[in-house]
Structure 1
Amino acid sequence: MKQNKYDNAAFFEQYSMMPRSISGLSAAGEWHELKAMLPELKGKRVLDLGCGFGWHCRYARDQQASSVTGVDISANMLNKAREMTDDPQIKYLQQAIEDVDFENEQFDVVISSLALHYVESFDETVQKVYAMLSAEGTFIFSLEHPVFTALAAQDWHYDDKGEIMHWPVDHYHAEGLRETSFLGNDVMKYHRTAATYMNTLIRAGFEIKQIAEPKPSEEMLSTTAGMKDELRRPIFLMIAAQKRR
């Protein structure tokens, strides 16, 4: 299933008002850890799958990547990305992640931020990424943590006073489609276990180099309301993997 909620005008307007949509990477609670997982980007050919507003694309060029390609299914996302980009070495393509079809070894680094939990066939996507990466190329991605996606409700358990009690986890091993809600809209996501994510990479020929379950930065903990609750359960899973020579 290839979703494109972001070309719905009302949904896109709400999304555009989110802090990370306005302020970019500095407002993304996981960015400080994802940035540390990236390889040296100078002189590299970079692909961003699910590029959104192009924040990671522009960062890669700031780090002197030789070229960057951003792919997203949403015309609204890409229109915004193009408005914010003034760099001929960044190219944006409107395409679903499932439909990407690049040449073998066309890229040195593939990045994907919070997009792959919307993709039905993670296995197929990983195989494509492996083929399009150069020898010893790097695949770094973030997605919603399996602890977060296990239940479609994706919400805390509250007491009768409305106070947070705990984060419920159930049906963890029942992988597959979850019909959840985001910004007041029905959204389809795919739940997989942490083992599935890692074993799929290993079977494709990748070597897992680093795994992170990011916590908010100290600055965000001290300045953003409710952020301390993010220490109670993981919300994101991030993996850096390298193609074997």
Structure 2
Amino acid sequence: MKQNKYDDMNFFSAYKKMERSVEGLEGAGEWHVLKELLPSLENKSVLDLGCGFGWHCRYAIDQQARSVIGVDISEKMLQQAREMNNDSLISYIKMPIEDINFSHSQFDVVISSLAFHYIESFETICKKVYDCLKPGGSFVFSIEHPIFTSRNDQDWYFDDKGNRLHWAVDNYQLEGLRETTFLTDNVIKYHRTFSTYINDLIIVGFNIKKVREPIPSEEMLESIPEMKDELRRPMFLIISVEK
């Protein structure tokens, strides 16, 4: 199922108000870790899968990338990207990630931010990325952590006073579709175990370079008190691999 919630007006309006939408990469709690795992982008051909507003595309150009292609299923997201993060070296393509079909060894670097948990088959994406990467090329991506995606109800357990008691994990080994709430109801995500993510990459032929479970930066922990709850369970998983 290729769901496109981002072209839903209610969903998109709520997404535009998120801190990462307003502030860009510095408003994303995991960015300081993802940035560390990226290789040098100077004179590189870069593909961004699920590019959204184009913040990572703009970053690649700022790092002197030779060219960048941003792929996203949402016309509203791409329209915003063209308005906010446009550049003659960036090409934006409206397309589901599952449908990419680029040339063999076309890119030096493939990146993706918080997109693959919306994709039914991660194995298929691994194969397509491996094929379009040059030998020695890097694939760096972030996803919602499997501990976060295991349940349909992806939220804290609260007491009767609204205090966050704990984060429950259930049905972890049962991979597949989760119908959950993110900004609006009826958002489709796909849960996979940690080992499935790693093994799908290894089976295709990637070499694992780094695996990180990021926490917010010290600055974000100090300025946003509720961010301290992000130390209680992992929300994101970031993986860096090489062809």
The reply to whether TM is greater than 0.5 is yes
Provide the rounded CA distance (Å) in 1 between the counterparts of 2:192 and 2:220.
29
Provide the rounded CA distance (Å) in 1 between the counterparts of 2:235 and 2:80.
27
Provide the rounded CA distance (Å) in 1 between the counterparts of 2:10 and 2:199.
38
**Secondary structure, in 3 states, of the residue corresponding to 2:225?**
coil
1:10, distance to aligned residue in structure 2 (A):
1.7
- Shifted more, 199-208 versus 81-90: the winner is 81-90
1:185, distance to aligned residue in structure 2 (A):
2.4
Q: Which runs of 5+ in 2 are unaligned?
A: none
Alignment map for 1:108-187 (pairs within 5 Å):
108-187=108-187
In structure 2, what residue type is equivalent to 1:9? M
% same residue: 61
In structure 1, what residue type is equivalent to 2:112? S
Provide the rounded CA distance (Å) in 2 between the counterparts of 1:184 and 1:177.
17
Confirm or deny: 8 A CA contact 2:58 2:86 kept in the other structure.
Answer: no
1:6 aligns with 2:22: no
Provide the rounded CA distance (Å) in 2 between the counterparts of 1:153 and 1:226.
20
1:9, distance to aligned residue in structure 2 (A):
1.4
Provide the rounded CA distance (Å) in 2 between the counterparts of 1:184 and 1:107.
35
1:162, distance to aligned residue in structure 2 (A):
2.2
Moved over 4 A (4+): none
Confirm or deny: 8 A CA contact 2:10 2:184 kept in the other structure.
Answer: no
RMSD, aligned CA: 0.7
Scaled by the length of structure 2, the TM-score of the pair is: 0.99
1:209, distance to aligned residue in structure 2 (A):
0.1
Provide the rounded CA distance (Å) in 1 between the counterparts of 2:185 and 2:161.
26
Alignment map for 1:216-235 (pairs within 5 Å):
216-235=216-235
Q: Deviations over 1:19-78 (max 9, x none)?
A: 110110000000000000000100110000000000000000100010000000000000
**Secondary structure, in 3 states, of the residue corresponding to 2:14?**
helix
In structure 2, what residue type is equivalent to 1:52? G
**Corresponding residue number in structure 2 for 1:104:** 104
1:167, distance to aligned residue in structure 2 (A):
0.5
1:159, distance to aligned residue in structure 2 (A):
2.1
1:23 aligns with 2:23: yes
Scaled by the length of structure 1, the TM-score of the pair is: 0.98
Q: Which runs of 5+ in 1 are unaligned?
A: none
Provide the rounded CA distance (Å) in 2 between the counterparts of 1:130 and 1:21.
30
1:44 aligns with 2:44: yes
In structure 2, what residue type is equivalent to 1:87? D
Alignment map for 1:173-212 (pairs within 5 Å):
173-212=173-212
In structure 2, what residue type is equivalent to 1:151? R
**Secondary structure, in 3 states, of the residue corresponding to 2:140?**
strand
Q: Deviations over 1:131-184 (max 9, x none)?
A: 000001000000000000001101111223321111100111000000001112
